[in-house]
Chains A and B, each alone.
Chain A
Amino acid sequence: MTQLSLVGVSKIFGNAKVVDTVSITVEPGKVHVLLGENGAGKSTVIKMMSGIYQPDEGHIEIDGKQLVIPNVDAARKLGIAVIHQELNMVPGLSIMENLFLGDLPTKAGFVDRATMKRRARAALERIGLNEDVSTPMNALGVARQQMVEIAKALMQDASILILDEPTASLTRKECDQLFTIMDELKAKGVAMVFISHHLDEIARVGDVVTVLRDGKYVGTIPASSPESELVRMMVGRNIDNQYPRTAGKPGEVMLSVQGLTRHGAINDVSFDVKAGEVVGLAGLVGAGRTEVLRAIFGADTYDSGTIMVDGTVVPKGNIAKTIDAGVGLVPEDRRNQGLIMEASVAENLGLATMIPTSKAGFVDRVGQRRREQDTAKKLNIRMAGIDQRTGSLSGGNQQKIVFGKWSMAHVKVLLLDEPTRGVDVGARVEIYELINRVTAQGGAVVMASSDLPEVLGMSDRVLVMSNGHLSGAMPAAEATQEKVMSLAVSHMREADEPEMESVKESSNE
């Protein structure tokens, strides 16, 4: 049983104190939740715990003894293991090969497969994972891969497990499996550090919560504390209204989707969105929400149906023409689809307008730069300047850039796919205010989201998709979680029913 303490540790990069005198004690058989917005210093704290960084001030104690963890190897020997958000596995190799990666059991220089198999089975059994150990890693879902990683850590006698946002890409059901395993590990006396952005998981799995803000220690409270208290500590102020939707009177129909069908994905979907209206698109993962948005935008083609923007039919599968017609898409995967991470803020803001505003093939550099400056200011993007690298900004600010790109293009219809994924609580409200601004200026918004409270809180009307069908529509005022959920499963075949995965998970379809 090992107890790990950080005593007044600080970490300084350049002139910035990224972590400022933080003290945390992780006790055996307890789950210690580390909570804070992006940039609060959580990952730096983890890196100090696992030997990647050395504290510049303060020290680390294990079982009361002060020591230095010079590197990751030393941390592992002390029984500290980190389960990273991005898994460190070789996808093409089998489970057992991954378990023994870098430490294959050998006999006379040859891999001892019998021993490997036996020990791998025992390791999976320990965490209750029922899989054939020769299954290739990439045949497993993310959740199971994560469990293999945990099994690996335990196999190496880890007594302190650090779980860095393990639930970020898990379905509700998979989360429950993970929590069950965590409960069992707790009973066996393993100490755990748990990081998550989902506040509702904290009470379920945690014992104590330490909140960090801007690198500073805010406090340690029981995990059973109310969510509002946690939010207040994280953000440093009260957030009165999580969903500040200000609906106006809807105007003319801006977007009209008629009989949209793509075989195997979208089945005869029709709906209208009026100027000034936010229409929420709810449904389970794989219900076809993303597919509908992409079809409207021209990112994918479709088999039949008509899409009209402001009364004009838009040709299918033509992004440039769709943008011309006044449609913008904020895609679900900001990093891979929304932004050029290595490019400057300015370049990303101007991406959709660079070609339309150019004259005789030459970019309107002066005009674009002025508009980029204006947009960055208008959207309150927090940065050192518009030449800063986009990848160095927080998730919320990055998302504002994607919004800004379409604001520069003066779109009339904005399609949002998971608009607040990976965005902090505080910045989330700012994104909602941007949505309000779009509708206040007469724009129409379609918002697909797996976050049901968000759909209910920010939409004027809610559409529910189930298995490619539009299974229901209702004013947001009449929508409840129960109603939406029952519509979301209404087109499921019998066999699919047990796969009810609830709505909060990510949709890496």
Chain B
Amino acid sequence: MSETTKVVEGDKTKDGTFDQVKRFVARNGALLGLVLLCVVLALATPAFLTGPNILNVGIQAATVAILAFGQTFVIVSAGIDLSVGSVAAVSSMLVAYTGASMGLPGWFTILVGLLAGAVFGALSGIANAYLKLPSFIATLAMMSVARGLTLVISDGRPISTSGMVNFFGTTIVGVPVPIVMMLIMGLIAAVILNFTSAGRSMYAVGGNMEASRLSGINVHRTQIMVFLLSGVFAAVAGLVIAGRLHSAQPQAATGYEMDAIASVVIGGASLSGGKGKVSGTFIGAILLAVIRNGLNILNVSSFWQQVVIGLVIAFAVSFDTLRRKEDAH
């Protein structure tokens, strides 16, 4: 998100401290919401603010966060990727299949999984860039294709994974590997988006495709790149899921694309493109995990949890829309 300052043609508006506080609140709504929620939960139940529970929240957040980091590339470029859950499933299934049924070494199967993610992603990207399919349609199709292939490969049954894959479900010096993977992937995403020309091109293409094209940016390549990256991130998420379950499940990550999109949007990205930050996405994913965890601790039924999550998404985005309106003034 670019830091927009409210300016009235030429002369800077001078704000009091109250305005500054107000603006800070408006700009960091999701973060403050998260902090507030944590304080409330900490006061409501002693079970929330314990070491194991915090790690638990981290593990819960990890898969969605990794998917959401990949999704951030796509949404910043004014697209959407509905296939991430299915791509996570199919790539983890390929990892398990090549390991268990074909007996290939663990490191190689992991490579196969990542490559599969890249290929499935790139195919969506090519459909989007060259066949001019709207990304919603292209990835809706891919969502179905990838899920179907998962079922075909596995014959609808889980396949157990090798020790090297199961490493993704263990801990290193007390820190769960899913959390480590989440942080690594977040860092990679942030570096790509902020420092590379490919990442900056994503913002440009999302902001105005035609102006980007007329400035010499290769729009097609950018479009393919974002879906390819989203696919690779999905494959990593798939590894984490398989590692935790010691197996690849045919129904793994079903519906996760919605949580991933919600995380990105709660994090302040605009579905119309050009805006979005990895840090925002991270906060969004953590916020969703804390809500789920908190409601679990408070014994709220999982049916009601869905209602709450839906309301949070609606609230977060309308808050953001109102803020933008204020800013554009």
Contact = CB atoms under 8 A, between A and B. Distances in A.
A60 B9 CA distance: 27
A343 B274 contact: yes
B217 interface: yes
A361 B198 contact: yes
Contacts of B275: 342
Given A341-B208, A354-B200, A385 B5 contact: yes
A110 interface: no
A382 B7 CA distance: 12
B196 interface: yes
Interface string A297-334: 10100000000000000000001101110000101000
A338 B214 contact: yes
A144 B212 CA distance: 34
A384 B2 CA distance: 15
A135 interface: no
Interface in B214-259: 214-218
Given A297-B214, A323-B216, A341-B208, A354 B197 contact: yes
Interface stretch (B11-19, B176-184, B288-296): B11-19
B274 A340 contact: yes
B4 A389 contact: yes
Contacts of B2: 342-344, 347, 387, 389
Given A299-B214, A343-B2, A352-B216, A382 B207 contact: no
Given A15-B14, A39-B9, A343 B195 contact: no
Nearest to B195: A362
Given A14-B8, A14-B13, A331 B198 contact: no
A383 to B, nearest CB: 8
B8 A16 contact: yes
B51 interface: no
B204 interface: yes
A315 to B, nearest CB: 13
B269 to A, nearest CB: 12
A363 interface: yes
A347 B84 CA distance: 30
B155 interface: no
Contacts of B4: 344, 387-389
B119 to A, nearest CB: 21
Nearest to A334: B211
* Interface footprint category on A: 35 or more
B128 interface: no
A393 B8 CA distance: 9
A13 B204 contact: no
A392 B208 contact: no
A383 B208 CA distance: 21
Nearest to A339: B211
A363 B197 CA distance: 5
Contacts of A42: none
Contact of B203 (A297, A336, A338, A343): A343
Contacts of A337: 210-211, 214
Contact of A384 (B7, B200, B218): B7
Given A340-B207, A354-B201, A13 B215 contact: no
A13 B274 CA distance: 27
B215 A405 contact: yes
Contacts of A352: 215-216
A221 interface: no
Contacts of A13: 8, 329
A162 B208 CA distance: 32
A506 B9 CA distance: 27
Contacts of B217: 351, 354-355
A329 B214 contact: yes
B211 A340 contact: yes
B10 interface: yes
A485 B8 CA distance: 43
B23 interface: no
Nearest to A320: B216
Given A363-B197, A389-B4, A340 B9 contact: no
B157 interface: no
A365 interface: yes
Contacts of B215: 323, 351-352, 405
B81 to A, nearest CB: 22
Given A320-B216, A340-B208, A352-B216, 13 more contacts: A320-B218, A331-B214, A337-B214, A343-B2, A347-B203, A354-B200, A355-B201, A361-B197, A363-B200, A384-B12, A387-B2, A389-B2, A391-B328
9 contacts: A39-B9, A329-B214, A340-B204, A344-B3, A344-B4, A355-B197, A384-B10, A387-B4, A392-B7
Closest 9 CB pairs of A and B: A340-B207, A358-B197, A16-B8, A384-B7, A351-B215, A323-B216, A340-B208, A352-B215, A320-B216
Interface of A: 13-16, 18, 39, 297, 299, 319-320, 322-324, 329, 331, 336-344, 347, 351-352, 354-356, 358, 361-363, 365, 382-385, 387-389, 391-394, 405
